[in-house]
């Protein structure tokens, strides 16, 4: 990792100590659930990244494979062909850090070589055996997300999450990934029933007690209660992210950047003012 990339990584990690950090979603895929195909072209993707930065996002998360339910897996070659030209442009044009949304070690390594400083792994180092050592070698920050191959309404999802994170963190430690570079994501909407999504959401505060920053990715998810067009889920997404912020989340992965920057800025300003008032009164 060169000095510029290291500075961007460390600036991102410092930002987590004084949230919020807004992560703008950039899907360069033809089949993502809410914006598939809109930014599959290089120029459209680059323009969208610039628009999100102008709207105030702190990091751009680039994904080349849809993770929606029933999505068709793509090869590393196809995923690389989607993300490489976009990352090459963004690394030289954006001042904010770039994250790569992938569970493949080969893609993570290539993205890091192109300038990505965060690996956002929706399988938490548990899908590709080479991922932990790849992240360690690249010296990127790491998002570990909870996931399941299929829903099981009978399980205790909170207990499952805790066991899962234990395994992922053990893999990270074995590979030599420093704890201060790790972020946890409860994986809302991934391998969970509606009830389990609620339980996972309610577990954010206890998950934060592990000592890691928390990322939430609830943008436009169906569990918010709407199957309509994306605009119908904006109010629900903002409400859910504000609730996550109240529970201790630091990073908010969203499609609608400007609206979340404004809402979260107000929320944290009011929360800080209330906390100072309590300290003054005590």
Task: Single out the residue of 155, 227, 149 nearest to residue 190, CA to CA.
Answer: 149
In the residue annotation, 253 being an active-site residue is answered as yes
Q: How far apart are CA 270 and CA 112, in angstroms?
A: 37
- The set of residues, in sequence order, having a beta carbon less than 8 Å from that of 110 and lying 6+ positions away, is 80, 83, 84
- Are 235 and 277 a contacting pair, CB within 8 Å? no
What is the β-pairing status of strands 21-27 and 59-63?
Answer: parallel
Torsional class of 214: left (φ above 0), alpha (ψ -120 to 50), beta (otherwise): beta
Catalytic position from the list 82, 110, 220, 221: 221
Catalytic option among 110, 181, 220, 253: 253
Q: What is the DSSP letter of 193?
A: -
Which positions are catalytic?
A: 221, 253
């Amino acid at each position: 990792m060169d000095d510029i990339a290291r500075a961007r990584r460390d600036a991102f990690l410092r930002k987590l100590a004084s949230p919020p950090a807004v992560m703008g979603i950039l899907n360069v895929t033809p089949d993502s659930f809410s914006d598939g195909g809109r930014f599959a072209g290089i120029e459209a993707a680059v323009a969208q990244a610039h628009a999100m930065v102008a709207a105030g996002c702190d990091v751009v998360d680039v994904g080349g494979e849809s993770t929606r339910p029933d999505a068709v897996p793509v090869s590393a070659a196809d995923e690389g062909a989607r993300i490489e030209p976009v990352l090459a442009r963004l690394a030289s044009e954006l001042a904010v850090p770039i994250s790569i949304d992938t569970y493949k070690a080969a893609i993570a390594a290539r993205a890091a070589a192109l300038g990505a400083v965060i690996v956002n792994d929706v399988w938490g180092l548990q899908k590709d055996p080479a991922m932990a050592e790849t992240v360690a070698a690249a010296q990127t920050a790491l998002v570990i997300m909870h996931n399941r191959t299929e829903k099981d309404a009978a399980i205790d999802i909170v207990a499952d999450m805790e066991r899962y994170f234990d395994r992922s963190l053990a893999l990270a430690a074995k590979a030599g990934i420093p704890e201060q570079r790790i972020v946890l994501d409860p994986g809302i909407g991934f391998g969970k029933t509606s009830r389990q999504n609620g339980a996972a959401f309610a577990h954010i505060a206890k998950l934060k007690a592990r000592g890691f920053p928390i990322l939430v990715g609830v943008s436009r998810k169906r569990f918010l209660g709407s199957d309509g067009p994306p605009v119908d889920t904006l109010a629900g997404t903002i409400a859910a992210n504000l609730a996550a912020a109240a529970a201790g989340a630091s990073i908010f992965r969203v499609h609608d950047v400007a609206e979340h920057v404004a809402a979260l800025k107000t929320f944290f300003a009011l929360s800080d003012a209330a906390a100072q008032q309590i300290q003054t009164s005590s």
